[in-house]
Amino acid sequence: MANDIDKDAAGSSATSRTAPLNIQDVAEAAGVSKTTVSHVLSGNRPVSPATRRKVERIMDELGFKPNFFAQALNSKKSHTVALIAQDITNPFYPALARGLQNAVASANQVVMLFDAGAGHSLTRVFVDDVIQRRVDGVVVAVSNVEDELLELQRAGIAVVAVGSGLSGFPIDWVSADDERIASDATMHLHLKGHRRIATISGPPSAEPGGGRLAGYVKAMGELGLETDANLCAVGDWTREGGAAALYRLLDQDVAPTAVFCANDLMAIGAMDAALESGLDVPGDIAIVGVDDIDAAGLVRPALTTMRVPAQEIGRAAGDLLLHRIAEGTSSSHRHVLVQHTLIARQSA
């Protein structure tokens, strides 16, 4: 049946490495035209059931797989989306990647990974690559790259940004609600009976540092609690920075009984400092972080934290991307605010 077009017979024979088949081969074996084969492949025009079945059977027997590049060249669809990630070794991004893959897989899209790693400047190279490879869309999870986002859009690629501080920018984007994360955490501390609640924030000049600090201040205001400077320490997102910040907080006349830390690493550092100072957590001082990194559940006492659902962010980004790919540049931009969750463990 398939024998009469066995390309293999000509050349290599012993091995099972076959010269790749094309739709012409299938067409001949099925006794139809290339056009018809192409249409049973794409579904772009009706094909009689009998013909369709025959062609499909032949394809199966021959193990025919259409050439991806030829398809892409003609259809101008690569069925590929790129993810440009700040740092793939930061657990946030793999989770995002998974959510993205899950979202776009249904549309037969595959994810191409660009890990900016430590090398910040790589993003430029990636942008060129992404454009040249003519991916259908790209999710940019790197901060401070507004120019690149624009360039990508100009190249006709669907773009979705992930991260804070993009409001007003003409782009689809998804972010966590940093203000509410902070205010919810502060509220939780208040519910636990705390009144003198401090914060260890990230550098407030950039996101998500600014938003989280604002959320804390706002919540304190709404609760009618004072927020003097003695309650606000600035950290640098690291464990050591968190520890140093807590020591400063503890140095005040009236020490706080609770601290909202803008991320888990600083929270764990704060815990180090508290324990080091002979304080009981959460007895003497309650601590809550943000992120829910793996270690949050592994340290003792286990860290109470606000989980930012990276996977959902990835999924939302994928959904936005699919929309944007379908709609082209015409439709107006969307913004998805992803919901966080309080993971109540032992530290607060």
Closest alpha carbon to 264 in 244, 291, 302, 241: 291
Q: At what angle do helices 34-42 and 49-62 cross, to 10 degrees?
A: 90
Interface with DNA by CB under 7 A: which range of 39-47, 83-91, 234-242, 274-282? 39-47
Contact flag: residue 295 with a copy of itself (CB under 8 A): yes
**Bridge partners of 110?**
80
Lookup: tokens for 194: 């705390």
Give the per-residue contact string, 117-136, with DNA (x = CB under 7 A; - = no): --------------------
Listed in sequence order, the DSSP H helices in the chain are: 23-30, 34-42, 49-62, 68-75, 92-105, 122-132, 146-154, 178-191, 209-222, 239-250, 264-276, 294-298, 310-327
Q: How far is the CB of 272 from a copy of itself (least distance, A)?
A: 8
Q: Vertex 139, ends 104 and 166: CA angle to 5°?
A: 130
- Smallest distance from the beta carbon of 309 to DNA, in angstroms? 37
Residue 241's closest CA among 207, 215, 265?
Answer: 265
Give the one residue of 3, 48, 121, 132 binding a copy of itself; rule: CB under 8 A: 132
Tokens describing residue 332: 């107006």
Least Cβ distance, residue 183 to a copy of itself (angstroms):
27
Q: CA–CA separation, 306 vs 325, rounded Å? A: 33
Burial category of 60 from C-beta neighbours within 10 Å (exposed 0-12, middle 13-18, buried 19 and up): exposed
As measured in angstroms, the least distance from the Cβ of 62 to DNA is: 11
Q: Pick one of DNA, a copy of itself, none as the site partner of residue 35 (Cβ within 5 to 8 A by kind).
A: DNA
Judged by CB under 7 A, the chain residues 69 through 88 that form the site for DNA are 70-71, 73-75
With CB under 8 A as the contact rule, the residue among 80, 183, 227, 257 that binds a copy of itself is 80
Smallest gap from residue 21 Cβ to DNA (A): 7
Residue range at the interface with a copy of itself (CB under 8 A); choices 84-92, 176-184, 213-221, 247-255: 84-92
132 contact, one of a copy of itself, DNA, none, CB 5-8 Å limit per kind? a copy of itself
What's the rounded Cα separation, in Å, for the pair 112 and 103? 14
Q: Which is nearer to a copy of itself, 204 or 301 (CB)?
A: 301
- 292-331 binders of DNA (CB under 7 A): none
The site for DNA (CB under 7 A) is made up of 20-24, 31-36, 38-39, 41-42, 44-48, 50-52, 64, 66-67, 70-71, 73-75
